[in-house]
Chain A
């Protein structure tokens, strides 16, 4: 129905799979389809491919192979790291500290922890969407098991002062497991987990041109977490279930290409975004979230004064431009974003935001093309 003309600016939701990832996935299914836990030649091939990929992926993030566990995605990694420390006879005074702007995978896990009776602190943000450093640090105490702070927000792209907070949190108690959901950040930032100092991280394959259904839980070798899935002894006995080797191979291939091209890609993303934002600014009354602060190169969250973003999103879709509002719910209707709420965006404006996210499939000229579609669409609906 839409044909090839469709302009996709929703890479923060997911990306198309890179050709090289698709090939690696297909190749793995052809030559290494066997169960990587088996004892025969074909299983060994699968196991070898799995471990090569683990080495490679660990290397990209400065992590040891044994610190890399493959999961079904970012959500599983977040759930595992946030919840499992509390499942193991944790004292009821144990605490979790996180923010109000986390991805739902962290936020809902934290709420679940809270429902179990543990203490959970949801730290607020300023009007740019940057977390309150002092409040975060002051909320951490000796009873805190996990502190979770996303590297950059998935709706606004705003990068959080993670190094500063991490250092201060470790001063409170070096025992605190410092987790970071880096799912969105990996798309346009080069990260080294040990240099950064985080103890655990969640990564998702499909945000960087890899397959869906594969993710990584990074966990520093200093920590051990109770298992979340029970069953077979896969993944160094940490995660039960036949390993998605072809997914892992696809993810490794996608990451390889992404890391090799990241610096060029970043230049393209930033220039397309700049053209996009500048073109809109010339003609419209808009506000760009985090415009003058540190934000990811691929996300542009824009407030369109007096325009309902639900209607705008539909009108853009009908003109062949795919973007998004807050987070989608199952039925498709979307609610005002919890991130914008935390930023204290006025209730008159909270339904006037759209997120435009560029990505690896973005081409030279897409920024201007998108801006022109937005301009002509807004003319029609206001």
Chain B
């Protein structure tokens, strides 16, 4: 089988290419150039740097597979960057990895794979695809510490037909071991943690350099008492503690961002707890499952048992069995039944307000 492997230059995707090659597949390695400097150069910081693609090239050479750097910058910029900025401007907490997976990696990349006569694409995500009587299911990775199924929740069983996640049953230490045994230079390379296009994780600077957020506004408590001022709402996300007026007593957190009135609400931990909220643009891997389900409201957060009720097309109300902290609008609610991923959607703003009051 011919497989197009997305190679970031990290150890995970290196091992994916190595494993598939050793299984006898016809493997083609591709580094997606997602992001570039003003003169078309690869970025120097973050992930997807020129040094990363150089690592990917070396791994491909070692494995003796064809390797290409392909230009996905316009797709990435239109679908991921623009969305990232847009979300911040609405006071939401974006998850660019989800957007990138949805519209770049598992859309354009799959299209390109088809054109290159590849039956499948493979990535180094930690998630498991299980065949259940001919229908593909998405499950958490066996190595739960690294499980990335959350950012893959938009994949449908039809899409999963075209995808391989070879790391679903392997632990990170094993991945490094395999890389070392294949003599791949990425075997002991440090994992990247940043949002890939924002080096040093300074997303505030990134956002403010791309948009005019200069307007200052008020920081208020839930009774509209003014407690201070801010330099732009993009500097805040719900649940944030840093950079807000302190004082005696209980620690304060951002509880809500009112974009229209340019106001940031703060309150105590208690004001941050949520029991009911809505998720929008909901998709399901296959059929809608409502029994014995739980939800993750952030990447790598714990599963909270819940109930879901359909409100409208692709809109569901989520009721948690137990109230939880830091449900942030813009992040995704991803529903599981045990290890099986059921589906997910974006956590809505307006609803939270209703629920809180």
Contact = CB atoms under 8 A, between A and B. Distances in A.
A380 B115 contact: yes
A332 B66 contact: no
A314 B113 CA distance: 11
Interface string A329-354: 11111110000000000000000000
B68 interface: yes
A317 B30 CA distance: 14
A311 B116 CA distance: 7
Nearest to A2: B66
A267 B190 CA distance: 57
B183 to A, nearest CB: 18
Contacts of A330: 41-42, 50
Interface residues on A, range: 10 to 19
Contact of B117 (A1, A331, A332, A380): A380
A310 interface: yes
Given A315-B115, A318-B116, A331-B33, A310 B70 contact: yes
Nearest to B71: A333
A331 B117 CA distance: 24
A381 interface: yes
Contacts of A333: 33, 40, 42, 69-71
B66 A331 contact: no
B92 interface: no
B28 interface: yes
A332 B50 CA distance: 10
A314 B68 contact: yes
Given A1-B66, A310-B70, A318-B28, A335 B40 contact: yes
Given A331-B33, A332-B69, A311 B40 contact: no
Interface string A1-39: 100000000000000000000000000000000000000
B237 interface: no
A293 B57 CA distance: 41
A311 B28 contact: no
A99 B81 CA distance: 35
Contact of B42 (A1, A314, A331): A331
A329 B40 contact: yes
Contacts of A315: 115-117
B121 to A, nearest CB: 14
A329 B117 CA distance: 26
B64 interface: yes
B41 A311 contact: no
Nearest to A381: B115
Contacts of A380: 115, 117
A80 B91 CA distance: 54
Interface residues of B, number: 20
B116 A331 contact: no
B322 interface: no
Nearest to B111: A311
A333 B115 CA distance: 18
Contacts of A317: 66, 68
Contacts of B54: 331
B53 interface: yes
Classify the interface of chain B: helix, strand, loop or mixed: mixed
Contacts of B70: 310, 314, 333
A283 B280 CA distance: 48
Interface in A356-382: 380-381
Contact of A331 (B64, B69, B112, B115): B69
A100 to B, nearest CB: 16
Interface string A308-322: 001100110110000
A323 B28 CA distance: 18
Given A311-B116, A315-B115, A318-B116, A331 B50 contact: yes
Nearest to B115: A381
A314 B4 CA distance: 12
Nearest to A312: B115
Contacts of A332: 53, 57, 68-69
Interface in B51-67: 53-54, 57, 64, 66
A334 B41 CA distance: 10
Interface in B136-193: none
Interface string B64-85: 1010111100000000000000
Interface string B17-60: 00000000000100101000000111000000010011001000
Contacts of A314: 68, 70, 116
A329 B66 contact: no
A311 B112 contact: yes
A374 B69 CA distance: 21
A347 B69 CA distance: 22
Interface in B282-320: none
Nearest to B33: A333
Contacts of B115: 311, 315, 380-381
Interface in B113-129: 115-117
Contacts of B117: 315, 318, 380
A335 B42 CA distance: 12
A311 B118 CA distance: 13
Given A1-B66, A318-B28, A329-B41, A335 B116 contact: no
Contacts of B71: 310, 333-335
A1 B116 CA distance: 18
Nearest to B118: A318
B42 A318 contact: no
20 contacts: A310-B71, A311-B112, A314-B68, A314-B70, A315-B115, A315-B116, A315-B117, A317-B66, A317-B68, A318-B66, A318-B116, A318-B117, A331-B31, A331-B69, A332-B53, A332-B57, A332-B69, A333-B69, A333-B70, A381-B116
| Closest A-B pairs by Cβ, 7 of them | A332-B69, A381-B115, A333-B33, A333-B69, A333-B71, A335-B40, A331-B42
